[in-house]
Amino acid sequence: MSDAAPLIAVDILTGFLGSGKTTLIRRLVEGGCLRDTAILVNEFAALPLDQRLIALSGGSARVVGNGCICCVVDGSVRDALIDLAERRASDEIPPFSRVLIETSGIADPAGLVATLALDRRLKPRFRPGRVVTLIDLVEDETPIEAISPEALSQIVCADLIVLSKADLAPAASPDAIMRRVTGLNPLSQIVVDDGLLDPFDRTAFPEAPGRPQPGRSFIAAPAAPRHDAIRSGVLRIAGPVDWQAFATWLSLLAHRHGGKLLRLKGTLTLSGGDGRPVLVQSVRHIVHRPEHLPADSAPDGLELVVILRDLEPALLQRSLEAFLRAGRVPALSATG
């Protein structure tokens, strides 16, 4: 693969059992939204995508319907992605511009995100894309995060949360569940599925640079008692930050408290840098590669949203401030 070849985005569709993941994929295929897309289904069951998609097994791939490449993966997603990349390179299958993975309903997407971010064979070919989580509005009365740790991770990892089955749910359900989900993941956008939306459309739902969503209430700790273990907050440092000191702090934090650091995402400007903000993010102990953003696309200084389990945001704020005061060193670039 040429060094100049663009990395292929891998989008993830997750959600607990019965939330409507396969229904959504069927609709997107029928509407032509998944042309030039490789679809992987990470579970044993065949994929019932009407007659346009053919359920396959053993990690094989085939062009079906209107240009989608559909795989039912009964083993390693990593191996399936590598197989797709090799078949694409050898012209066994037509080129595809993105991959969409539908996870099992009981899957924890954090492991998949970590694989995409760290695996040495995947990193030259693929990059993490958007994580979309479906939440069933009919199950609104069930505490979401009480279903399982996997359900909680599906919410926390999400870039976009889609509330499904609105036509079958009580009228008050969307507002109630939005308040609950916002307390767990203030980073995500939340939309109600109207039967037409494409949650992977970057034009309709542009990427957010790691700040709490405008117009959404943001609280340092969720108000509902059943969310006691989950805390969220914003860490702020005024003015440019020394990259080496910050990166060391983040590495130590992820190493020591990775199980409690459910998610971190935000921006900072660097001492001695060119003024462009740097996007940083992590899922548990996995810290993603930093990314330079356009100038003036984020506030000056540091602003990080953290979602924590059994850990107080105020403690991290004090730790970061103390570390930056004591550990300042000559500035390095974000990639160095």
Q: How many angstroms from the chain centroid is the CA of residue 12? A: 8
Looking at residue 161, its amino acid is I
Candidates 53, 45, 3; CA nearest to 28 is 53
Is the pTM value of this prediction over 0.75? no
Question: Tokens for 256?
Answer: 């020591």
- CA count, 13 A, side-chain hemisphere, 50: 12
Q: Which domains does the chain have, with CATH numbers?
A: 8-192 (3.40.50.300), 225-326 (3.30.1220.10)
Which residues have a Cβ under 8 Å from the Cβ of 88 and sit 6 or more positions away?
Answer: 94, 95, 96
Which residues have a Cβ under 8 Å from the Cβ of 83 and sit 6 or more positions away?
Answer: 59, 61
Per-residue pLDDT of the chain (336 residues; tens, 9 = 90+): 445 578 999 999 998 767 888 788 878 888 888 888 888 876 544 433 322 232 332 334 555 545 666 666 655 788 889 988 998 899 888 888 999 988 877 778 888 888 888 889 999 999 999 999 999 887 655 555 555 677 888 998 999 999 988 777 766 567 778 888 888 888 889 999 888 889 999 888 886 655 555 433 333 333 333 345 777 888 999 999 999 999 999 999 988 888 888 888 888 999 888 888 998 988 777 788 888 888 887 888 999 988 888 889 999 999 999 989 876 543 333 333
**β-bridge mates for residue 38, sequence order:** 69, 99
Q: What is the dihedral of CA 85, 40, 35, 56, to 10 degrees?
A: 100
DSSP code, position 130 = E
